[in-house]
Amino acid sequence: MAVKNRPALLSFSGMTFLPGHIERKYIKVPIGASWVEATLRTSGFDTARRFFVDTVQISPLQRPMKWESVITFSCPSAKSFAFPVEGGRTMELVIAQFWSSGIGSHEATVVEFEIGFHGININKEEVVLDGSDAPARIDAEALLSSEKLAPAAILSKIRTPYRPIDAKLCTLPTDRDKLPSGKQILALTLTYKFKLEDGAEVKPQIPLLNNRIYDNKFESQFYMISDSNKRVYTMGDVYPNSTKLPKGEYNLQLYLRHDNVQYLEKMKPLVLFIERNLEDKEIIRLSFYSQPDGPVMGNGSFKSSVLVPGVKEAFYVGPPTKDKLPKNSPEGSVLLGAISYGKLSFGIQEEGKNPQKNPVSYQISYQVPPNKLDEDKGKGCNTACTKGVSERLEEEVRDAKIRVLASLKQGTAEECLEWKKLSSSLKSEYPKYTPLLAKILEGLLSQNNVEDKIPHLEEVISNANTVSCVLIFHVLTSTKEGFELIVFSSIFICWELEPSDPVVFNLLLS
């Protein structure tokens, strides 16, 4: 049966039901429909009645789209419900009265079933936020009739990737692990380790293998989660399930079987995702905007509108703010949730309601970006990452020697001699280290009790030339330290030395 009228409504009236009776209707779903709002009305009975309602749509190369519900009527009344459909394909609608429902009564139940098709077409079924500050644009259009556009989106799960810490490949020894041809089956055991800072409901995910049985090339798969004391909490197979785990460290062992060793070798670095449900206080509700700069400017929020058939409307879904990200969300993890666009015509749908409870919802994801580092912390991290332990130890020793040199006094001839010996030793050990050369120059300029000034000033000039050459290199490399040191040495030489001395005068001219 095809739907030709607008709005797209279809009604079946006058159907009579006795216990065990089944009615089947085949309906051509109009193009552009994505969900159905149905009403089941009953009359003509005096005892409670129970009905099964079931719908099936078959799509090529996909699993059938099924929906079913059990509805109980204590008295003649009407009940409404909604379910998803795919436009352009035939739907089988089945209504059946339960075999023991009304078995003691000879009165038939009169049923009227009314269907209304609704739909909002969008340009992307899966929305991906890449971790930047840019929102994602969505184009919405209603093809059948006017629809209320009221988008809602939440992020309720976090998926963290893990690599195996151990991989063991072995040949299964028993006869039951042989193929009829006599070829022996091999087993691969992968061990993953993950930690929960708080108790949570988790679910292991392997996109390559999960939810595939008959089209899966691997013979079987099995996983087991245990804690550090080897207590087993849960087990699963191709269809993983969620499990509540307390705080602690856990090991997940994944078992795979195949008769080709090369295939199993390729599976050794297999990525596993641990999907954790967020607590109610951690769930993120996303905002919508009417312009692309809305998330930055903080204006132009989009709440709802009415879609006219044939007219597209664009809006934007913004990424979550960094302060709303849940704790223990490392870089590379993905926040998952659902997004819906339509609003049911019956019932009350509160603002910000979970879109997963709507008849049609789509997946939305957000890639967690790198954490923002402070400037000082970033410098320390870069230094620690590029230098080894031995190199950092040598730098600490060098800086300690320079501090000792700076602390030495030069009040007497003996103290000046000790200072000169240490400065010469350090200068030969670190000839190109600018802070050391600056300290030596500073020490030479602080000597006031020098009897023969000519050799002393020549030594000052020699050290000043060395420091100047090194500082010029620092300036050429555009470093802040080089600029500060060259200014320091120039001011120090000009003000501390006697400008009337011929040697100093020649130095200043140079």
**pTM > 0.85:** no
Query: Contact 238/221 with Cβ under 8 angstroms?
Result: yes
Q: What is the CA radius of gyration of the chain?
A: 39
CA-CA-CA-CA torsion sign (347, 351, 353, 356): positive
CA angle (457, 463, 466) in 5-degree steps: 145
Residue ranges with strand state E in 259-397: 272-277, 284-285, 288-289, 305-307, 313-317, 334-340, 362-367
Please state which of the ranges 187-191, 233-237, 473-477, 490-494 shows the lowest mean pLDDT: 473-477
Structure tokens at 232: 């087993």
Query: Contact 221/190 with Cβ under 8 angstroms?
Result: no
pLDDT tens-digit series, residues 465-492 = 665 555 544 444 444 444 444 444 554 4
Neighbouring C-beta atoms of residue 508, cutoff 10 Å: 12
CA angle (321, 327, 332) in 5-degree steps: 75
What would you measure as the largest C-alpha separation in the chain, in angstroms? 132
pLDDT tens-digit series, residues 293-342 = 888 888 778 888 899 988 899 999 999 988 899 888 888 899 999 999 98
Tell me the average pLDDT of the chain.
83
